[in-house]
Amino acid sequence: MNGFNYQEDRLHCEDYPLDSLAKTYGTPCFVYSASAMTAAYQTIKAAFECQNPLICYAVKANSNLAVLKQLCDLGAGFDIVSGGELIRVLRVGADPSKIVFSGVGKQTDEIEAALAAKIKCFNVESEAELLHIAAIAERLDTKAPISLRVNPDVDPKTHPYISTGLKESKFGVPMNQALRLYTKAQSLTGITVKGIDIHIGSQITQLAPYLDALDKMFSLIDQLSNQGIILEHFDIGGGMGVRYEQEPDFPIDALSDALQQKMADRKLEIILEPGRYIVANAGILLTQVLYTKHNESRAFAVVDAAMNDLIRPALYDAVQAVLPVIAQTNPSERFEIVGPICESGDFLAKDCLINLESGALVALASAGAYGMSMSSNYNTRGRAAEVLVDGAAAQLIRRRETIEDLLAAETNLDTVTRAPLATISAR
């Protein structure tokens, strides 16, 4: 993981020790390294230097305003999937001409807001959506710039829940409907055809699925061009995998080389939509052991973070390393790290070689992507705090949610006394 290291036996984020951070901000707490995010962004930028692509960070991976601001300042555009994410990126000063809008279910108010903001492109996922966007644009006397998300039917060989480019999936339009839909799109008053896009899955570690998809798409692009449909851009999506355990480094340079070679002399602006690649290894989830318990076959450490904070282990069987905040030389026990939630699926890590006792602090590694952004209030647990570290400085970028925050949106019953709430702490 970039940005995290042991200095004098204490785990640090950059130059800030995580045990002091826990004292100041409490646990559970997501901690992000600003320089690790910058480094990952620059790695992509450098690898694709030849194509000079528009890098649209996929906001859903980690949508904290401070994270978005940092990427915006680095020159990133954004890939959004909701009206809420549109508001987030506009709030940090994103250039609308660098925003693309993905997602299978864009709603009327979201489409109107994106048209009003003059975003770069709607990544359209079906004929019905195309017609709906066209009708709204026409009513507002404008034109919606669109790209069709084509489903290239390739197997990204990742977890089924994050495979999106197989023909059985709900995403995109089938290859064999693309020509008809582009022809249709061109005939609609409210539409300007701009490009084509794919996004074949997430946490992809191999090159082959991308190569297959690129071949299929370039042949489709040529077929369209023969029919007089000339596209300005090709958005190859995100999905570049990161190392959680033993995964190899994603072959980012090889992908860029292959793209350059396959693109030949076609004139196309390239767009990328990386999410996980930029933030996953720039963050950890800091948590404290509440209790340890042993049954016949297992040892459990019950920690103050849970599946509502980090759902990847429960949802995707994801494995994230567990790092002791105070370094251990000879760990001898094997623990399952579990949360306080009333579900057997509430585990954060299994079979960890580590010594733990109550009060110990641990970091769940690689929690910068799809951690906080997928968190919930299940069990009426306030969401964790988020802290951004830059060098030796730490900044609270989202305060811990209070119980009052959670109840505020609900009908307040007069008979319910509010008195005890203030005394219940953050989690």
Among 88, 98, 199, 312, binds ligand PLP (CB under 6 A): 199
Q: How far is the CB of 273 from ligand PLP (least distance, A)?
A: 4
Site string for ligand PLP, 63-92 (x = CB under 6 A): ----------------x-x-----------
Query: Two tokens at 197?
Result: 């896009």
Under 8 Å CB-to-CB from 271, ≥6 apart: which residues?
53, 54, 55, 56, 77, 100, 195, 197, 233, 234, 235, 236
Residue 53: CB atoms within 10 A of its CB come to 22
If you search the block for the tokens 């809008």, which residue do you land on? 101
| AA identity, residue 426 | A
- The answer to whether 190 contacts ligand PLP (rule: CB under 6 A) is no
Measure the CA–CA gap between 193 and 186, rounded to whole angstroms: 6
Of residues 262 through 291, those in contact with ligand PLP by CB under 6 A are: 273-277
| AA identity, residue 300 | F
Task: Identify which of residues 58 and 385 has a Cβ nearer to ligand PLP in the complex.
Answer: 58
Backbone angles phi, psi at 123, to 5 degrees: -90, 100
Q: How far is the CB of 317 from ligand PLP (least distance, A)?
A: 17
C-alpha radius of gyration, the chain, whole number: 23
Question: DSSP class of residue 419?
Answer: G
Among 61, 71, 364, 367, binds ligand PLP (CB under 6 A): 61
- The answer to whether 58 contacts ligand PLP (rule: CB under 6 A) is yes
Among 16, 44, 60, 259, binds ligand PLP (CB under 6 A): 60
Site string for ligand PLP, 99-118 (x = CB under 6 A): ---x----------------
- The answer to whether 51 contacts ligand PLP (rule: CB under 6 A) is no
CA distances from 396 to 18, 21, 92, 143 (A): 14, 10, 17, 41
Q: How far is the CB of 150 from ligand PLP (least distance, A)?
A: 12
Question: Three-state DSSP class for 388?
Answer: strand
- The answer to whether 238 contacts ligand PLP (rule: CB under 6 A) is yes
Question: HSE on the CB side for 356, CA within 13 Å?
Answer: 32
Under 8 Å CB-to-CB from 399, ≥6 apart: which residues?
385
Measure the CA–CA gap between 294 and 245, rounded to whole angstroms: 26
Task: Identify which of residues 102 and 151 has a Cβ nearer to ligand PLP in the complex.
Answer: 102
Q: How far is the CB of 369 from ligand PLP (least distance, A)?
A: 6
Q: How far is the CB of 103 from ligand PLP (least distance, A)?
A: 7
Q: Using the rule CB under 6 A, give the single segment among 53-61, 126-134, 248-256, 387-395 that binds ligand PLP.
A: 53-61
- The answer to whether 382 contacts ligand PLP (rule: CB under 6 A) is no
Q: Using the rule CB under 6 A, give the single segment among 40-48, 54-62, 218-226, 337-345 that binds ligand PLP.
A: 54-62
- The answer to whether 233 contacts ligand PLP (rule: CB under 6 A) is no
3-state helix, strand, coil in the chain (%, to 5): 35, 25, 40
Strands (E), 244-325: 269-272, 283-294, 299-303, 322-324
- The answer to whether 14 contacts ligand PLP (rule: CB under 6 A) is no
Q: How far is the CB of 202 from ligand PLP (least distance, A)?
A: 3
Task: Identify which of residues 62 and 308 has a Cβ nearer to ligand PLP in the complex.
Answer: 62
- The answer to whether 304 contacts ligand PLP (rule: CB under 6 A) is no
Q: How far is the CB of 212 from ligand PLP (least distance, A)?
A: 17
Measure the CA–CA gap between 338 and 351, rounded to whole angstroms: 11
- The answer to whether 163 contacts ligand PLP (rule: CB under 6 A) is no
Q: Is 352 a catalytic residue?
A: no
- Residue 161 contacts residue 111 (beta carbons within 8 Å): no
CA distances from 244 to 140, 248, 369, 406 (A): 47, 10, 11, 32
- The answer to whether 318 contacts ligand PLP (rule: CB under 6 A) is no
- Count residues near ligand PLP (CB under 6 A): 17
Residues acting as catalytic residues = 342
Residues that bind ligand PLP (CB under 6 A): 58, 60-61, 79, 81, 102, 199, 202, 237-240, 273-277
